[in-house]
Amino acid sequence: MVFSSLIFVFAFLPVVYIVNIILKNRVSNLFLLGCSLLFYAWGEPLYVFLMLFSGLVNYTLTLTMDAKQDRRKQFLILTVVFNLILLGVFKYADFIILSINSLTGSAIPYLHLPLPIGISFYTFQTMSYVIDVYYRETPVQKNFFSLLLYITFFPQLIAGPIVKYHDIAVEIDHRAVKLNGTVHGLRRFVFGLSKKVLLANTMAIVVDGLYKLPNNEISTSIAWVAAIAYLFQIYFDFSGYSDMAIGMGEMFGFHFLENFNYPYIASSLRDFWRRWHISLSSWFRLYVYIPLGGNRKGIPRALLNQVIIFFLTGLWHGASWTFVVWGLYHGLFLILEQTILNVGKWPRFLRHFYTLLVVLIGFVIFRSATFAQALVFLRSMFLFHPTTGIGARQLMVLLTPTTWFMFVVCIVASTPIAKFIRTYDQKRIGNSLSYGIAIVLWFACLFSLAATAYNPFIYFRF
């Protein structure tokens, strides 16, 4: 994995960038499409054909939908059902079979299909295009290869952000690669890589080391350290990938929307979801919540719609009831905020503390392999259990001075302090400070990749 990441950084990305500059837009689209397919085939040599098949079916059905004005709705339904079946078979088939077998006592054999990398992301992107064409938010794309580039573009193909077609429709055919954009994109890429390699990977060592302990060794201190470490791991892992994707997109003349906005400074769960995985939240709001009626049909219906959205949000993250419960847990607190809690009138500190605590507990459920493991960690967090034996030794091994320092860095990097520094740097120093920091971080990432085992991005499996 280290070798593959170094090939990407030192060979694939520079070569693709240089050749893309030389080529004109239409030819460069074909070139970028070929490189994106090669990039995906490097990790999924067979499932690249599944992605091509999905793109061809969606392209054909959407063209037909646009041509047959009197049957638009039927073709929309057909296209959406096709995408959901494709996602359901490869991601949820065994989960459904397991649930049926558990409830009925039957013995339906499992399919054991490997999960295609990024299938949730590119399926949602494709459906957003189809729905936008149906509602005439964007014109139908008659060039198959241009549509396929949108679906497969390698910077955000396997872990987002989820890009809506109408956000980059113009740039697919008309874009310019500028030196300023390249430099900004490289800086953004390095900062994202640093989040992943230096922060998320350090936290991952702590999380994995504590979550593999036997249940009887999970003390109060172990449970809290693991929970806080995972809070940072998942944020810097996912936001780091989003930063890398946005940076690479800018290098090639594409401008993707932001996917994170300092979610850990949120003052309510509603505020948190405006800041966390923004592309997924906005996707569900536009394509599910509003079509269900949103808040236009009264408060009870609006609350029900929110429950549906967060059930789907949890299910989107993985084929497990722990993810579903995590989604419903967030939905429950959103409903409580709107009906009982009245969070907006609380003192600022209390609002932040409440939000972080709810998010932290939710991520314990999200990270746990089973409900039993989640309950063990949650019980230990709130009912005192001393640290002894194997657990104490594991804490001593994992919590090195470097790890403690990284915890402090994670706290600082989770706040807008870095944003304020960049703004000051841009206005007073001409970006020299941020570029200097980026160079230092770049070499730190290279040393870290060479010295430690590489951890894949968490959201690759979604």
SS (H, E, C) the chain: CHHHHHHHHHHHHHHHHHHHHHCCHHHHHHHHHHHHHHHHHHHCCCHHHHHHHHHHHHHHHHHHHHHCHHHHHHHHHHHHHHHHHHHHHHHHHHHHHHHHHHHHCCCCCCCCCCCCCCHHHHHHHHHHHHHHHHCCCCCCCCCHHHHHHHHHCHHHCCCCCCCCHHHHHHHHHCCCCCHHHHHHHHHHHHHHHHHHHHHHHHHHHHHHHHHCCCHHHCCHHHHHHHHHHHHHHHHHHHHHHHHHHHHHHHHCCCCCCCCCCCHHHCCCHHHHHHHCCHHHHHHHHHHHHCCCCCCCCCHHHHHHHHHHHHHHHHHHHCCCHHHHHHHHHHHHHHHHHHHHHCHHHCCHHHHHHHHHHHHHHHHHHHHCCCHHHHHHHHHHHHCCCCCCHHHHHHHHHHCCHHHHHHHHHHHHHCCCHHHHHHHHHHHHHCCHHHHHHHHHHHHHHHHHHHHCCCCCCHHHHC
Catalytic residue of the set 317, 330, 352, 385: 317
Beta-carbon contacts of residue 332 (< 8 Å; ≥ 6 apart): none
- What is each CA distance from 22 to 15, 16, 153, 181, 307, in whole angstroms? 11, 10, 19, 16, 50
d(CA 31, CA 297): 48
Q: Residue 317 catalytic?
A: yes
Query: How many Cβ atoms from other residues are within 10 Å of residue 68's Cβ?
Result: 11
State the burial class of residue 43 (Cβ atoms within 10 Å of its Cβ: 0-12, 13-18, 19+): middle
Which amino acids are annotated catalytic? 317
